[in-house]
C-alpha cells in the first residue's frame, strides 16, 4: 500500500469514526482493505468500551473470509489498536495494520477517563509477541490533527 492509499483509507476510517460519534459513540473507526489495497471490504465504528471498532471488524472478517485471504488484507484504523484489538487481529490473521494516531497520543488526551482507561502497551509489542510477522505502519502526522479533533470534545 503506498502512502496516498494509506492516507485515503485513514480518512475513510475517520469518516466512520465521525459517523459513529454522530450516533452517540466514541469516535473510533476502522476499515478492512482487500489485498488490492483499494477495495474497502468492511467498515466498523466503536460500539462501547469492550466492543471496539478494530475488535468487531476483525471478528466479523474472520467469520466471512479465510485466514489465507485475510493475511493479505489490511486493517486501517484511526487510533493504534489497544492490546485487546491487536490480539483479535492476531487471531483473525489480518496480516497488515495501518493506524493514524498512536495509543500514546490518545492516552495523553484521555488521561484516566473511565470510558477509555488506555493502557501503555503498543500494538507492535502485542503483535511482535506472537509467532507471525505482521506489517505495521503508523502513526501518520499528516492525519493526526484531523483524527484527534473529534476526541477533544469526548474527554
- 54 tagged catalytic: yes
What grid cell was written down for 96?
A: 497488515
Could you give the angle at the alpha carbon of 90 between the alpha carbons of 72 and 138, nearest 5°?
70
| Secondary structure (3-state) at 145 | helix
Catalytic residue among 15, 19, 38, 54: 54
Task: Report which secondary-structure segment, H or E, holds 15.
Answer: helix 3-22
End-to-end Cα separation, the chain, in angstroms: 33
Centroid of chain to Cα 98: 7
Which residues are catalytically annotated?
54
Amino acid at each position: 500500500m503506498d502512502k496516498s492509499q494509506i492516507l485515503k483509507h485513514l480518512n475513510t476510517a475517520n469518516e466512520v469514526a465521525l459517523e459513529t460519534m454522530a450516533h452517540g459513540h466514541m469516535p473510533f473507526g476502522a476499515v478492512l482493505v482487500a489485498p488490492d489495497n483499494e477495495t474497502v471490504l468492511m467498515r466498523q465504528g466503536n460500539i462501547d468500551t469492550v466492543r471496539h471498532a478494530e475488535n468487531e471488524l476483525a471478528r466479523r472478517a474472520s467469520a466471512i473470509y479465510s485466514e489465507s485471504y485475510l493475511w493479505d488484507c489490511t486493517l486501517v484504523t484511526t487510533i493504534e489498536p489497544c492490546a485487546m484489538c491487536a490480539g483479535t487481529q492476531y487471531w483473525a490473521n489480518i496480516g497488515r495494520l495501518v493506524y493514524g494516531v498512536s495509543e500514546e497520543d490518545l492516552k495523553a488526551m484521555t488521561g484516566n477517563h473511565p470510558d477509555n482507561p488506555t493502557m501503555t502497551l503498543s500494538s507492535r509489542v502485542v503483535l511482535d509477541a506472537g509467532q507471525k510477522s505482521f506489517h505495521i505502519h503508523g502513526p501518520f502526522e499528516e492525519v493526526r490533527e484531523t483524527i484527534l479533533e473529534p476526541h477533544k470534545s469526548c474527554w
